[in-house]
Structure 1
Amino acid sequence: MAVGVPLFGTLEVAGPEEFGLDELTAELLAARGDARQVVADEHAWFFGAELQRRSLLPAAHAHGAPTTFREWLARQ
């Protein structure tokens, strides 16, 4: 967790895997024992924007972390 304003502006961090937001959410809920089903709506808005399948991928300058989502989740 980072607290405060980034020293040099925005810091974008990403892991080595690519997930759809629906896939990531479903896996997180399942890991927490939540049996709700995640249903994606391709026309749902995300913070005021309609996203494409690859809209939330990190930019080329993002800091790539070697930890996978499942590794991170296992530590929680």
Structure 2
Amino acid sequence: MYDNVSTLQRQCLGVVYMATGDGNTQFSVTLPNEVLKLFEQLYPLGLYGKNRAEVARQLILDMVKRMSSERIIKLPD
């Protein structure tokens, strides 16, 4: 399943698969400061969210959707 994916994509998948059941699971993520600075550049756009957590959540979900559409992963039914 992890062939041809970057380290960051692999880490995102690990985080996403921590979710359990039909609901949502809260967890913490450690990211490099450079990534957090990039997140801050996205706040004014409002496209990905208004804070770090919303930006991280949306970017992770977007990556999972993209990987699913490219058939790199298969989402549960």
TM-score of the superposed pair, with normalisation by structure 2: 0.26
- Larger relative contact order (CA 8 Å, sep ≥ 6): 1
Q: Give 1 or 2: higher strand fraction.
A: 1
Larger Rg: 1
Q: Provide the TM-score with structure 1 as the length reference.
A: 0.26
